[in-house]
Amino acid sequence: MSKLSLFFEAPYKIAIRKDSIPSPNKGEVLVKSIVSSISPGTEMLVYRNQIPDDVPLDESIPRFNKPTRYPLKYGYSVVGEVVDIGKEVSSDWKKSIVFSFHPHESHFITSPDNLIPVPKDIQPEEASFLPNIETAINLLMDGKPIIGEKVIVFGQGIVGLLTTSLLSNFPLSCILTLDKYSLRREKSLDAGATESLDSMRISPEIIKDSCLKGKKSDLTYEVSGNPDALEYALILTDYSGRVIIGSWYGKKKSNLTLGGDFHRKRIRVMSSQVSTIDPRFLGRWNKLRRIQVAWDMIRIIKPSKFITNRFPLSEANKAYSMIDRSPDKTIQILFTY
């Protein structure tokens, strides 16, 4: 048996490299992967070479805290089993199911400090949603939804669907979601949206007849990954409303009209990214608490219902090509090992 590792070799080019399975040193463990999930937003920026040259992929993860250069291993959501341990590692780790912010590969060596034990009542496929659930939690912490508010979510990819799922647990008067793909709109309604509309057919008349009832939103999330959506997010947000941007646009530019109505509406625009949290929470919220809340939300939402495709790692080219060319047919793809 060999170790299989996914490499982004060049734009639109994926390779699976084989190597011998390593043995852990005294303070390390060997993890055999069970599943890993593709993050469609960020990983497609890497796939298409749309990451800014001078921006690290993730400053909070040491292996990604450097400028992006091909070839590179990437991915950050692996669930696996600890199959071997070093001499100085507690035997409690042996055979445990763990989560790691690690690239897509069949086996890897790491320190136990880099692993998060998966609760026994959560299946590996559900556990692979941990990073995106944590992202959605962060989006809600930044947006601070209030009882009775009207909320719009632009984009119903996996982060958008998870955000909608969490919002549906709040006593809001309207959760309006927007996406151009019918599959995602159907899943959005299942996730708890009051209404889900085609983002390519927005008009004043359609908005007037929606659950907004002719009003604008108090809170708007832009998680579509499309920089053009931000302009519409500002237009559809009411006086003194909040716009939370969870999308990472990479090299894509956003052209905004800020000289008209926006100037008088006192709209607050905030970027939200899961590597950090709002400073007001730092005294009470550490990483452990956020992970515990994420596990609780996974139990409630059961996000595996958003999985549309599973591929063995050897067919990775098919997976990325499908996301790139047929986004209307896919939401969440998992690699199996």
List the structure tokens of 56: 């690290």
At residue 205, the pLDDT reads 83
How much is the average pLDDT of 308-313? 98
pLDDT digits (tens, 9 = 90+) for 223-254: 999 999 999 999 999 999 999 999 988 888 88
At residue 60, the pLDDT reads 56
The answer as to CATH 3.90.180.10 being correct for domain 3-128+302-336 is yes
Distance between CA 179 and CA 91 in Å, rounded? Answer: 48
At residue 207, the pLDDT reads 84
How much is the average pLDDT of 298-316? 98
Q: How far is CA 213 from CA 110, 175, 210, 237, in A?
A: 53, 12, 6, 14
The DSSP bridge partners found for residue 85 are 29
Distance between CA 298 and CA 166 in Å, rounded? Answer: 10
Is the pLDDT at 179 greater than 60, yes or no? yes
Distance between CA 139 and CA 244 in Å, rounded? Answer: 7
pLDDT digits (tens, 9 = 90+) for 60-117: 556 555 667 899 999 999 999 999 999 999 999 999 999 999 999 999 999 999 999 9
Is the pLDDT at 54 greater than 70, yes or no? no
Contact 305, 330 (CB under 8 A): no
Peptide bond into 62 cis (omega under 30): no
Give counts: helices (H), strands (E), the chain.
Answer: 10, 15
Q: How far is CA 331 from CA 155, 191, 323, 326, in A?
A: 11, 13, 8, 10
The DSSP bridge partners found for residue 84 are 30
How much is the average pLDDT of 176-181? 98
pLDDT digits (tens, 9 = 90+) for 143-175: 999 999 999 999 999 999 999 999 999 999 999
CB contact burial 247-263 (16+ within 10 A = b; e otherwise): bbbbeeeeeeeeeeebe
12: left (phi over 0), alpha (psi -120 to 50) or beta: left
How much is the average pLDDT of 269-286? 91
Give the pLDDT band (50/70/90) at residue 261.
confident
Ranges assigned E (strand) in the chain: 3-10, 13-19, 29-37, 78-85, 97-100, 107-110, 116-117, 150-154, 174-178, 195-197, 217-222, 237-245, 268-271, 307-312, 332-336
Is the pLDDT at 56 greater than 90, yes or no? no
SS3 (DSSP) at 143: helix
Amino acid symbol at 228: D
- Comparing 48-52, 102-106, 315-319, 329-333, which segment has the lowest mean pLDDT? 48-52
- How would you list the strands of the sheet with 174-178, edge to edge? 195-197, 174-178, 150-154, 217-222, 237-245, 268-271
SS3 (DSSP) at 220: strand
Is the pLDDT at 12 greater than 90, yes or no? yes
Is the pLDDT at 118 greater than 90, yes or no? yes
Going from N- to C-terminal start, the domains of the chain cover 3-128+302-336, 132-278
* Mean of the per-residue pLDDT values of the chain: 94
Residues above pLDDT 90, as percent of the chain: 84
Q: Which residue has the higher pLDDT, 274 or 178?
A: 178
Is the pLDDT at 282 greater than 70, yes or no? yes
The answer as to CATH 3.40.640.10 being correct for domain 132-278 is no
At residue 135, the pLDDT reads 97
List the structure tokens of 312: 């063995």
